[in-house]
Structure 1
Amino acid sequence: MCSDSNSKRLYRRTAEWALETFWINVTNSSSLFIRGGGDIFIRIESKNMRRAHRAVTLKYFSSSLRVRLFSSSSSESSSSSTSGKFADVCVAIGSNLDVREGEDADSSSRFQHFHVALRLLQERGFEIKKLASVYETKPVDTLIENQPKFLNSACVLRHPREWSVLECLGKMKDIEREMGRDVYNTDKGPRVIDLDILFSEKEPMVRYDPPPFPSSSSSSLSSYEKKFWLEVPHGRIKERAFVLAPIADLTEKMSFDKSGDVSITMANQMTAMARLWKEEERRIMQTPTKNFEEASEDDILLQRVAPFKRNMRLEPYEGRAKVMGVLNVTPDSFSDGGVFNTSVSTALRRAEQLADEGSRIIDVGGQSTRPGASRVSAADEIARVAPVLEAICERFKNDPRNIAVSVDTFYGEVVKVADAIGVDIINDVSGGDWDEGMLSAVANTKVPLGYVLSHQRGNPQVMSKNASYPVGSVAKTVGDEIASQYLRKVLPSGISAWRCWIDPGFGFAKSEEQCVELLSDLKDVRASLAKNECGGLAKAPMLVGMSRKRFVGNMLVDEKRKDVPKDARDVASAAAAIVALMNGANAVRAHDVKLHADIAKVADAVAASKRKTGSYE
């Protein structure tokens, strides 16, 4: 391909991108020419052709011979004029090791490594645009046995357009080194953090092989160009389910952009890989390495996980319904106000009863948020919940049933106290709107606790007046508004989608008819989050709270329209819960825990059957 005798031609077919790629070692610009037919677009990445090893073919057509050469300056100026001052990269992230050499990491420390990496990326000038779900995966493609499982995900980062993809890689290698990884060790063994560039908007196809030996010609290269290999798109994406699955989360509502002469873009590359994953997802997701009847949790190849206990394993949640037991230590909650707030010992006995009946989460609340309820101060709420939280957290800290404790609050000061006591989950019905210190407190918990992001419109005094939705679009609108809250306030506050659970807010600024419609169309909440490019948030655990609420009771009334007492709504509540679990929910908040635990087992059995028959969704 090049007439210079020192230049070599390397050709390969990359079928997934539907193009032919030519890597060219350019040593003399006057010697470059093309033999054969076809229409080949080439972009030389080397400025003024001073650097070798970096050239890419952008597109191949079957027509008469034509060659277009773009200098770096002309192509970059053209790109900048259309894309502004910033560009995006898609980055894979993984971890399976604690900072201390040789020690296995539990998911809490691996999960913390993810968040430390996000913080360091932001400190180095990257902006977090979108995060995929978190996956737990068995180590693959390694000769090192008995490695801990990996946590894997991916993200889209924005960076100044003047940065090359190689400069981006260098910053990521700095982060890996700062977090304790030997960046020159390529044995594919355990690692505290792993950051790999998968795709680049600015440089959608590029390869760099550093010179094997120092020479005078490499004296002008940066330290990163001398040390690190780089290929974009990453050459082994197709082989790795733990990379394909997060890419699909990030591109769920993308479609191919066929406009313009050059269709090889980061968006199209990601969309192609997402489509490939859709073909493999049913076969791989939550599939064990042995027969279902013999398989244990350790045999699962790949599954989404979410924060549950603060210092124990992240837990899978799809097809594993959880029950959150309600424990109100208030005098005025709509169902059980004044029942369990008489003493700490009374509340603790109730917590033990909830756990015995099948609750995996005990949700402690210190004030009522029913429509029209009066607000209690943060100090009064702390006085109510702090002693109860201390007793319950101590009681279940080492319980083999792995019971999580959540605090139901919208106050930042309550979050700080609860975090110091040792709760596992923050259940915020306000979406961060009712107290200006809430999101900051959640963002700065000692470890990245799970955070329930709920839909609402206004506080309890005004929410009933805000129940106005287009007919037939309640679920879609709820998803749109959760997406807006996350993108405008939650993510910029430093709370990642990796930490979030979502709650569509049954009864919060919704009429009884609208609640029924929301239940019927619950899947549309996730679809709306995906359409709004929320990435992994669209796949986050969904918690629903319908237990004993008025809209449930009103579905039972007869022709006499006699109101159904709250404690007579439990069976109907469980029926609504099973509908929710079959439509995308993963956890149900309940007063009658035993009844809801039974229906959760039914939902899990149906989900397991779908996995066995290959109809996983």
Structure 2
Amino acid sequence: MIIPPAARLYFRPTAFIDAASGAAGRSLRLAGGPLHFSALEVIALLGGKRVAQPLIPVARLHAFLATLDEEQQAAAHAILARLTAPRAPLALGPRTIRLDRPQAMAILNMTPDSFSDGGVHIGDPAAAAAAGMAMVEAGAAILDIGGESTRPGAATVAEDEEMARTLPIIERLAAVGAIISIDTRKAAVMEAALAAGAHIVNDVSALCHDPRALELVARAGCPVILMHHLGTPATMQDAPRYEDVLIDVHDWLEARILAAEAAGIDRARIIVDPGIGFGKTLRHNLALLNGLSLFHGLGCPILLGASRKRLIGALSNDAPADRRLGGSIALALSGAAQGAQLLRVHDVFETVQALDIWRGLHDAAFT
């Protein structure tokens, strides 16, 4: 297939195989993780439209690259280097989180109004900390603590209230060695949480909401999760529209990575999240989930947060949030099967067990 010289190219790893032994030259390892891919879907974009979408076996990749013009070849080699480069482990206080396997990030909301677990631990830091430690014991690598709901339609919470909800729990959990992520859009909350013992900033606005956030995270030198969103929690589900949701979200995250790097944040400390449910329809969410492996080309670990979300209910007879365990595990395994390094989940024990079985099956294929 002839690719127009002016087309921008995107590469999505696919055709994953169980074992790479005996497949030399016919597969590549994805991001230093357990998966190997034997083909690439090449998406050629011209004038904002897909003009070609060939599936190129890895065995024929060099021949395909030779058909491209010089600029396309250079871009392709840069993307391929990012697709295959191992993701550096996260060195966080007393522990190191390896990213050569999928890890669970547990959700611990200190809010009265989060869509699934709002109000469970509000006003009881001791009980919240005990719940957090139980999730660590169940296999969570990271605890993601938030004091402001960002569900569709949620109202903004004042900084001091957000701190009052989260800091006592962070202090308790940091004191016993838990790895903690602070889920916030506000620089003041980020700063206070990091001082209290948090290790990671998880910002659903990708450091867009607060003008101080970029500089603060750069100065702190901590890992940061940049999540795609459209609008604000109050408006994001008001008829969201995209030209091509997979490409649009990829390009938006790429722009946020470049902005973070310009502010002094090392790309090796950046994690990307496509923002399932944040300004997306069911069709948009499914396109992102099915095309998730495209985001490895950004050269950053991928976080997938789909646990108990509305799309599960939409696909399963409107099941309420507390009856979406099966769907949550299905989406977690789908993410792992496309190389997602972090899975943000409510149901830690069940998800970690599912991942253990997935890894056991995969490891057995090598032997």
Out of 337, 340, 356, the residue aligned to residue 601 of structure 1 is 356
* 1:463 aligned partner: 236
**Preserved contact between residue 31 and residue 87 of structure 2 (Cα < 8 Å):** yes
Maintained 8 Å contact 1:308/1:449: no
- Residue 607 of structure 1: CA displacement? 4.6
Q: How does 1:70-89 map to 2 (within 5 A)?
A: none
Unpaired segments of 5 or more residues in structure 2? Answer: 1-29, 33-61
Do 2:88 and 2:268's aligned partners in 1 also have CA atoms closer than 8 Å?
no
Q: Cα distance 1:584–1:469, how it changes in 2: closer, same or farther (>3 A)?
A: farther
Q: 1:433 & 1:543 partners in 2: Cα distance?
A: 18
Max radius of gyration: which structure?
1
1:371 is aligned to 2:141? no
Q: Name the SS for the 2:126 alignment partner.
A: helix
Q: CA deviation at 1:506?
A: 0.3
SS in 2 for 1:444: helix
What CA distance in whole angstroms lies between the structure 1 residues aligned with 2:255 and 2:153? 26
Matched, 1:515 2:285: yes
CA contact (8 A) 1:428 1:452 kept: yes
Instruction: Confirm or deny that 1:547 pairs with 2:275.
Output: no
Per-residue CA deviations over 1:89-134 (Å, capped at 9, x if unaligned) read xxxxxxxxxxxxxxxxxxxxxxxxxxxxxxxxxxxxxxxxxxxx99
Pick the aligned partner of 1:588 from 319, 329, 343. Answer: 343
- Contact 2:153 2:233 (8 Å CA) reproduced: yes
Aligned pair in 2 of structure 1 residues 256, 496: CA closer, same or farther (>3 Å)? farther
Shift of 1:308: 4.5
Q: 2:192 aligned with 1:421, yes or no?
A: no
Residue 443 of structure 1 corresponds to 218
Deviates more, 1:593-602 or 1:359-368: 593-602
1:451 is matched by which residue type in structure 2? V
**How much has 1:406 moved relative to structure 2?**
0.8
Cα RMSD (Å): 3.0
Q: Residue type matched to 2:256 in 1?
A: Q
**Within the alignment, does 1:579 sit opposite 2:339 as a pair?**
no
1:502 aligns with 2:272: yes
How many residues were matched structurally? Answer: 305
Question: Could you say what secondary structure the match of 2:226 adopts?
Answer: strand
Mapped to 1, the partners of 2:238 and 2:304 lie a distance apart of 22
- Measure how far apart 1:453 and its partner are: 0.9
Partner of 1:382: 163
- CA deviation string 1:1-46 (max 9, x = no partner): xxxxxxxxxxxxxxxxxxxxxxxxxxxxxxxxxxxxxxxxxxxxxx
Secondary structure of 1:393's counterpart equals: helix
Secondary structure in 1 matching 2:87: strand
Equivalent residues in 2 for 1:257-272, closer than 5 Å: none
Q: Residue type matched to 2:275 in 1?
A: G
Mapping of residues 45-64 of structure 1, within 5 Å? none
Identity of aligned residues (%): 31
From the superposition, tell whether residues 442 and 311 of structure 1 become closer, same or farther in structure 2 (CA, over 3 Å): farther
Deviation at 1:606, TM superposition (A): 4.6
Matched residue, 1:118: none
Q: Cα deviations across residues 296-317 of structure 1 (Å, max 9, x unaligned)?
A: xxxxxxx53232423544x431
Which residue does 2:14 correspond to in 1? none
- Residue identity matched to 1:570: L
State how 1:100-111 maps to structure 2 within 5 Å.
none
TM-score by length of 1: 0.46
- Structure 1: how far apart are the matches of 2:340 and 2:212? 29
Is 2:251 the partner of 1:480? yes
1:483 deviation in Å?
0.5
Q: Give the C-alpha shift of residue 256 in structure 1.
A: 6.5
| Structure 1 residue runs without a partner (length 5+) | 1-132, 136-251, 286-302, 398-402, 531-537, 558-562
Contact 1:571–1:595 under 8 Å retained in 2: no
Corresponding residue for residue 232 of structure 1 = none
* Higher RCO (Cα < 8 Å, 6 or more apart): 2
Question: Taking structure 2 as the reference length, what is the TM-score of the superposition?
Answer: 0.75
